Structure formats: structure tokens, C-alpha cells
Amino acid sequence: MKHQSCSWKFFAVSCLTLLLPVLVSSKCTGKAHDGHDQDTSEALKYKLIAISSILFASALGICLPFLVKNLSYLHPDREAFLLIKAFAAGVILATGFIHILPDAFESLTSPCLGQNPWQKFPFAGFVAMLSAIGTLMMESFATGYHKRLELRKPQPVSGDHEENRDEDDNGGGGVHVRGPDFALKRTNSSDLNRHRIVSQVLELGVLVHSVIIGLSLGASKSSKTIKPLVAALSFHQFFEGVGLGGCISQAKFKLRAKVIMILFFSLTTPTGIAIGILISRSYNEASPVALIVQGILNSASAGILIYMALVDLLAADFMNSNMLCSFWLQLGAYLTLFLGAFSMSLLAIW
């Protein structure tokens, strides 16, 4: 029940991120729109194409780890799965460093915000740092809470290691020794809780970023701007979905929780685009309020994704015994890591 309560709180916070764009519609004269390519009807056509394309790519990406998990060579203990996770971690790391953090700096240093205090302090980096520390705190406290719960639970006695010493006819003085699987079960439970926390925090960071992506595309009035973004964002969401789907798969959530997390990821960017279309007449991405909200959310999202990629995905896998004992597995993992990071970085051109 406590786990379900935490999940619903997480999803409630995710829902609230969808409502933020409606609040940012004031205007700034610092950035004018070019009128020659503001073909609204043409832009709307590409926005509708973007909704369907990104929805399909997002759903395919996040579902892919579940579709192939029954293949023996893609089992979590096999080398191929580690290589896929390294690729996904590279994608998530590049998303934070290349796609989100630069946008956050651009928003929070815009001339529309004035000189003081936005031009005098690196708020984007500061918020990203606080977000990374906050993610560490959230993981640490949540994992510690679950670990303390496990320690308080009465553990079953192993039949192979049970000693009964009868001191009298009433059978008093029985001594019970816990079996060797006691520590193993506790370790497996702790690992499972950690995977669940990681997947939920990672999804939160991805959702915040996805809302802003969708909003910006939906509010754009230029078909020339939208056209190249359709393919780029479809690949972007597919790669992110693969990384997130792998984490959710390892967390072994119940079916309902898996379906909810898959739906949230798949629908967030298309929903953001739809909101952007609805408010495109009044929304101006160069307004001070819009710049501050987008900049802070992007900074927080970047901090979460960078921390998760480096600490929870890369450090955990690259320092385990299977990886350290095989030079060729290490080499392959680094190659797929760079391939994932390079692939996502390349999309920044568009």
C-alpha cells in the first residue's frame, strides 16, 4: 500500500507539470517574430503529424525492453543487456548535457529578463546542482526508509538451518538459526526498491523535459521550424523511451503501474504539443514568465537526468563484477555508451 501511495504521489506531481504552461502567456518586446513564414495552417498540419509520430516513437521506445525481455540473450544478467543499458545511459546523459542544460542557460540569461539578477548569477547551473543533490537526497532517504522497513519485518526461518533444542518435555528453549538465503533475500529486496526509486525519479525528469519540448513545438507558428523537429524529436523520444523502459523493466512493477508509467511517457509530449496549439495565440516563449518557468524546469530536469545517468545507470553497471572481470565487455560497453551519447548529441543540430 505504501508503495502504491508513493506511486500515486509521483504521478500527481507529473500531472501538475502539464498545467504549468497555461500560466505563462505575458509578452516581452525583446524578441520579435518574423512574419514571412508564419503560415498557421501549414504549421498546424505539421503539428498534427508531430503528435502522431512522437506518440508512436515514444510508445515503441518505452515498450521495446518489455517486448524483447523474454529473449534469452537479452536477460538482465547477460552481456547484451548491459550493452543496451550503456547505450541508453549515453542517450540520457547527452539529453541532459546537450539538449536541456544549454536551453536552460539560454532562457535564464535572455535579455528579456533584465540585467539584475539574471545576468549576474548562473541560475541554470545552480538549479541543476540543487536538483542533482535533491535527487541524491530523495534516493538516499527513500532507500533508507525501505531498508529500515525490511529490517523490522519478521524473517521466515529456513528449514535446512533450524535447530530445535528441547530442554524439557514442553519443548522450551528452542533455538532458530536463519538460513544463508536470509541475506540474499534482503539484498534482492533492497535492489528491487532501488530500481523502483530510480525508475520513478528518472521518469519525473523525463516528463518535465517532455512537457517543455511539446509546448515549444505546439506554440511555434513557423512550419519551417517545425518540419525538421518532427523527425528529430521522434528519434529523441524513442531513445529516451528505450532507456526509461529498461529501468522500469528491471523495477518489476505490477502491471497497472507499468501501464500507467508507459502511458505517461508516451502521452506527455503529444499532450504538451496539444496545449501549445491551444495557447499559441497568447503564448510567447520570449515572455519573462515563460523564460523563467522554462529555464528553471529545464535546469531541474537536466540535473536529475545527468545525476541518474552517471550515478544510477553508469556507475552501478560499470563497477559491477561482471563488467570489471571482462575487458571486452568493458570495451563494448564504452563503445555503446559513446554511440548513444553521440547519436543523441547529433540530434541537437536540428
DSSP for 283-336 reads --TTSHHHHHHHHHHHHHHHHHHHHIIIIIIIIHHHTSHHHHT-HHHHHHHHHH
**Residue 27 resides in a domain:** no
The closest of 161, 98, 5 to 309, measured between CA atoms, is 98
**Residue 23 resides in a domain:** no
d(CA 266, CA 74): 23
**Residue 20 resides in a domain:** no
Name the band, by pLDDT with cuts 50, 70 and 90, for residue 60. Answer: very high
* Owning domain of residue 125: 38-153+178-349
pLDDT digits (tens, 9 = 90+) for 204-254: 878 887 888 888 888 877 777 788 778 878 888 888 888 888 888 878 888
Average pLDDT over all residues of the chain: 78
**Residue 4 resides in a domain:** no
Which class for 348: exposed (0-12), middle (13-18), buried (19 or more C-beta within 10 A)? middle
pLDDT digits (tens, 9 = 90+) for 124-180: 999 999 999 988 888 788 777 777 777 776 665 555 544 444 444 555 554 444 555
**124: three-class secondary structure by DSSP:** helix
Lowest mean pLDDT among 56-70, 188-202, 309-323: 188-202
**Residue 309 resides in a domain:** yes
Quote the number of domains for the chain: 1
**Residue 196 resides in a domain:** yes
Distance of CA 287 to the CA centre of its chain: 28
Report the pLDDT averaged over residues 49-59: 93
Decide if pLDDT at 317 tops 60: yes
**Residue 16 resides in a domain:** no
pTM: 0.70
